[in-house]
Amino acid sequence: KIIKKSKKNEPLLEIAESQALDRINRRNTFEWVKESFTHLREKLNLTNLERIEAFDISHNQGSQVTASCVCFSKNGPDKKNYRSMNLTLEKNDDYLALSEAVRRRLKNLEDNKKSFPDLLIIDGGKGQLNSVSSELEKSGFKEINLISISKGPLRNEKYDEIHLQNNPY
């Protein structure tokens, strides 16, 4: 749909133009990722940060629960290691879904003798963090660093919260 320029939608068009120009200028270059990894490693006080895996859960009105896993290295997105998995749950329970997804992913990495991520990021608050942290401990993967990111008030990303294992950031 083509948006006609008017005073009413001018801010929207400016945002769209800015994002399009940013995308064109980046052209799949991810030089910014190295600096971001360094900054994140320092902020989280990690000794090493080479690989990050992030998880999110989706469902269709509470059923057909799936998990998505995206991977990043210092070179940018590692799309060949992105994963999507159907979960055994038939209800919307983020705690159990995230725990299952993380457990299955790490077990798969272990079985295939692949390296583990230095940091796991999960979508959710303290409850999701505690659930996955408990799963990591039970499964023998407690050495993997874990954070969660929860939505801010009114779902405003400006106020998103980062939760560390047992400590809000």
- Asked if residue 169 has pLDDT above 50, the reply is no
| Inter-CA distances, 58 with 37, 55, 62, 78, 88, Å | 27, 10, 9, 21, 13
Q: Do 102 and 116 form a contact (C-beta atoms < 8 A)?
A: no
What single letter denotes the amino acid at residue 153?
P
* 147-158 confidence digits (pLDDT tens): 999 887 666 666
Helix, strand, or coil (residue 41): helix
Q: Do 116 and 144 form a contact (C-beta atoms < 8 A)?
A: yes
Helix, strand, or coil (residue 162): strand
CB atoms within 10 A of CB 56: 17
| Helix residue ranges, H only, 67-144 | 94-111, 126-139
* 19-48 confidence digits (pLDDT tens): 888 877 766 678 788 999 999 999 999 999
pTM beyond cutoff 0.85: no
* 40-96 confidence digits (pLDDT tens): 999 999 999 999 999 999 987 667 789 999 999 999 999 999 999 998 877 778 899
Query: How high is the pLDDT of residue 5?
Result: 65
Residue recorded with tokens 């408990």: 134
Average pLDDT over residues 98-114: 94
